[in-house]
Chain A
Amino acid sequence: MNREARPAREDAALRVEDLSKTYADGTRALERLSLHVPAGSFFGLLGPNGSGKTTLIGMASGLVRAPEGHIRIFGHDAVADYQRARLLVGLAPQEVHLDRFLSARGVLVHHGRYFGLSKGAAGRRADELLSVLDLRAKAGARPNRLSGGMRRRLLIARALVHRPRLVILDEPTAGVDLALRHELWRYLARLHREEETTVLLTTHYLEEAEALCERIAFIRGGAILAEGGVAELRARFGGARLEDAYTRAMG
């Protein structure tokens, strides 16, 4: 369903125009932000805490109200046409929140069914993801019985159950040990390459962004400071590594 719901020849997985957001406490999180994430790209969104990354992701996925500006997911308005837009998005949020009344497999099956998969298809997809993310042995365990790394992997699996065309990963490797982090990198790279999935990644690990992302945007104060390939950003801000360019761009 989700793969068939796309409008033809849309070149942007995520297109954001003049997006602003002020929270009830007066915090201005986004300031007329515009961003274009090309379809099929592995895109990094880098910025310090409080720069607006999670707000932007929340608005694109339905977790944060979006009263000003426009967000389009493969051409579908994320507010006016939210059903078709959400079918195309898979989100692994920064905070790990998993339904404690369900087993690990149940979390995946239910999520798949919320997105329209049949019971059988959701079950098969859940089993596949549990194997891929090395959670098969914990299929029957409740999320609160899993280790931090396992919960993080389950969250990523949940984002992938309905085979979204745009996967949004908000700091997916935060708190994950080095071996698992590299394992997740390999899986995400393979997902992007083999399934042509667009990936929008936020991370504080700049080597992670440098290793995985084809394009990167720097965000600060709710606005995009710069956008381009790793080499472009290094050339523009100077430095041998992305980290140098990032540090200089952020001032």
Chain B
Amino acid sequence: MRPRADRRALRTVELRGTIALAGREARRVLGLWTQTILPPVATAILLLAIFGGALGDRLRQVEGVAYPWFILPGLLVMTVAGQSFANAATSLFQAKSEGYIEDVLTSPLRHWQVALSYMAGGLLRGWLAAGVVAAIAVPLTEGVRRPALALAALALTGVIFSALGVLTGVWAETFDQHAFVANLVITPLALVAGVFYAVQTLAEPWSTLTRLDPIFYLVDATRAGFTGAHEAPVAASLGVAAGVATAVVAAAVGVLARGWRLKP
């Protein structure tokens, strides 16, 4: 076979394989929607109702924005982050612990294509859950000021946390390890990222510490997109998020390429 035709045939193999694996992940998310979509939507709506509805009457405005509208972008970031992470981490962890990851490890797919496929399931779950929450909540608020900015920030959120999910799925050898990252790293980081309050109202060192939390920049950029209000320069927030996304995606591809904890 001529080299160019051989390369073209190989690209076809890669494309079909990647679509198949990503499709498998997407079907898993949609098939298990009562576990993958419904709970995070219910949680976000409940948080919005409790904090936005009950506390909103007392707090009225934060940074010049009605409180329910102020917290909605952060809740969407929390939803995308938590679900993107959970899906990629759980699916890969299951495939590894039950052994059927050999189906993928023996395939001709490139390592970045495997990472991308697992991330695709996470992205779908995160964006779909956040999309449902937004579809319910946005009509009750003042609309979205800069939709492209909000979408870009939520897209970066999904990329970062689905790649972190891949890393965790590869790293975790027990379900406890897998749950540790979700419960003791991601959830606390999300809660102190300024979802429910303006960072500039915090005293030191909390204000500075919050600015060290990368999720803060995702929340801030998403809030800028929804409400126009933000505490950090938008370009800086997107820059930090893009930098973090590049680093975690590279790390996810790297561990798959090395076969770390996947191949003895």
A114 contacts B6, C-beta separation under 8 Å: no
Q: How far is B102's CA from A98's CA once the two chains are assembled, in angstroms?
A: 9
Given contacts A113-B16, A116-B12, whether A64 and B103 have CB atoms under 8 Å apart is no
A4 to B10, CA, bound (A): 11
> Which of A30-38, A82-90, A186-194 is found at the contact surface with chain B?
A82-90
Q: Does B259 contact A (CB under 8 A)?
A: yes
Contact for A101 among B9, B28, B99, CB less than 8 A: B28
Mostly, the A contact residues are: loop
Q: Chain B: which residue is nearest A6 at the CB level?
A: B1
Q: Report if A99 contacts B (CB, 8 A).
A: yes
Evaluate contact between A1 and B9: CB separation under 8 angstroms. yes
- B 14-31 binary contact with A (CB < 8 Å = 1; else 0): 101101110010011001
Which residue of A has the minimal Cβ distance to B5?
A4
Instruction: For B114, give the chain A residue with the smallest CB separation.
Output: A114
CA distance A62 to B110 in the complex (A): 12
Q: Is B34 close to A, CB under 8 A?
A: no
Q: Chain A residues near B31 (CB, 8 Å)?
A: 101
Report the minimal beta-carbon distance from B256 to chain A, rounded to whole angstroms: 12
Structural contact, B24 and A83, CB atoms closer than 8 A? no
Whether A110 contacts B24 by the Cβ 8 Å rule is yes
| A97–B10 touching, CB < 8 Å | no
State whether A89 touches B106 (Cβ < 8 A): yes
Q: Which of B99-129 contact A (CB under 8 A)?
A: 99-100, 102-110
Name the B residues within 8 Å of A83 (CB-CB). Answer: 10, 13-14, 108, 110
Say whether A247 faces chain B, with CB atoms less than 8 Å apart.
no
Q: Are B1 and A5 in contact (CB under 8 A)?
A: yes
Question: Which chain B residue shows the least CB distance to A29?
Answer: B264
Minimum CB–CB distance from A167 to chain B (whole Å) comes to: 12
Nearest CB to that of A96 among chain B residues?
A: B99
Residue interface mask A85-114, B partner, CB < 8 A = 1: 011010101010111111000010011011
The answer to whether the Cβ of B4 comes within 8 Å of any Cβ in the partner chain is no
Note all chain B residues with C-beta closer than 8 A to A102: 24
Measured CB to CB, the closest approach of chain B to A59, in angstroms, equals 9
Tell me the number of A-to-B contacts counted with CB atoms below 8 Å: 96
B263 interface hit (Cβ, 8 Å): yes
For chain B, the bracket of interface size reads: 20 to 34
Contacts of B100 in A (CB 8 A): 97-100
Indicate which residue in A61, A64, A89, A97 contacts B98 across the interface (CB closer than 8 Å).
A97
Measured CB to CB, the nearest residue on chain A to B117 is A114
Chain A 148-169: CB-based contact to B (< 8 A → 1; otherwise 0): 0000000000100000000000
Q: How far is the CA of A23 from the CA of B264 in the complex (A)?
A: 7
Contact of A115 with B17 in the complex, beta carbons under 8 Å? yes
Given contacts A1-B13, A87-B108, A102-B24, contact A114 B103 (CB under 8 A): yes
- Chain B residue, CB-CB nearest to A100: B98
Of the residues A65, A87, A91, A101, contact of B259 by C-beta under 8 Å:
A65
> What residues of chain B lie closer than 8 Å to A82, measured between beta carbons?
108
Question: Which residues in A have their C-beta under 8 angstroms from that of B16?
Answer: 113, 116-118
User: Which residues on B sit within 8 Å (CB–CB) of A93?
Assistant: 102
B108 touches A97 (CB 8 A): no
13 contacts between A and B (CB under 8 A): A24-B264, A63-B102, A63-B105, A89-B106, A97-B103, A99-B24, A99-B100, A107-B103, A111-B107, A114-B17, A114-B107, A115-B13, A115-B17
14 further A-B pairs in the complex, CB-CB below 8 A; given A1-B10, A86-B106, A100-B98:
A4-B6, A4-B9, A5-B6, A58-B264, A62-B263, A63-B106, A64-B263, A65-B259, A65-B263, A82-B108, A84-B10, A93-B102, A101-B24, A117-B16
Top-5 shortest CB links A-B:
A116-B13, A97-B99, A113-B20, A114-B107, A83-B108
Q: Which residues of B contact A (CB under 8 A)?
A: 1, 6, 9-10, 12-14, 16-17, 19-21, 24, 27-28, 31, 95, 98-100, 102-110, 259, 263-264
Residues of A within 8 A of B (CB): 1, 4-5, 23-24, 58, 61-65, 82-84, 86-87, 89, 91, 93, 95, 97-102, 107, 110-111, 113-118, 158
